[in-house]
Amino acid sequence: MFNGIIFNTGIVEKIHKTKNSIEISLKTKMSFKKSEIGSSISCNGTCLTLTRINGNLISFYLSSETLKKTNFNYVKKKNIVNIEKSLSYGVKVSGHYVQGHTDITGKILQIAIQDKTWIVTFLVNKSFSKYLIYKGSIAINGVSLTISKVIKNKFEVNIIPHTLKLTNLIKLKKSDYVNVEFDIFSKYLINLKK
């Protein structure tokens, strides 16, 4: 479990591809202990298992299922990845509860800039529009954000300069794909209604 407040990123240094999976290594200033191997780390909002630490390089194995559901299917060297360690008991949650279970990738339709705020419009598959709730929480590449507008299967978020500075969202451009995780409570409530 994570809270979507990102302070650290990593740069993709190595990609090792096999037929149905990949292993990626990220270079980061974030510190990790050998005892953290096997722990869950949010990478662009996707919960991955830390498999190896080699100095400032951390490695993760991504299965075919992960590649199908996330933007790691398009990963390239030098891409910037948002990184967050899982929550510890008693730590302040200032974003929202993010599981690291990416639901879908969303496509960027437009980026408008007002003063220093980015207003980004995303498109998702129609079958997921039921989870888009005005003023509801949403995780984009692992960053906890608030939906500011919903039109059918399109939605907008406002990204402030502080968030842009600390995350890979500053690198977003039109037609990019991002990892989207809908609010856990909306998913459970909608399933209860069935």
Q: pLDDT band at residue 193, thresholds of 50, 70 and 90?
A: low
Task: Report the CATH architecture of 8-85.
Answer: Beta Barrel (2.40)
Every domain of the chain and the residues it spans: 8-85, 104-193
Kindly report the pTM of this predicted structure.
0.93
Helices (H), the chain: 64-69, 161-166, 184-193
Q: Is the pLDDT of residue 108 over 90?
A: yes
Fold match flag (8-85 vs 104-193): yes
User: How do 104-114 and 154-159 pair as beta strands?
Assistant: unpaired
Q: Has residue 21 got a pLDDT over 70?
A: yes
- For domain 104-193, say whether CATH 1.10.10.2840 is its number: no
Cα separation, 181 vs 94, in Å, equals 17
Spatial separation of the C-alpha atoms in residues 38 and 68, rounded to whole Å: 22
Q: What is the pLDDT, as a whole number, of residue 15? A: 97
Of the candidates 10, 38, 35, 34, the residue with the CA atom closest to the CA atom of residue 24: 10
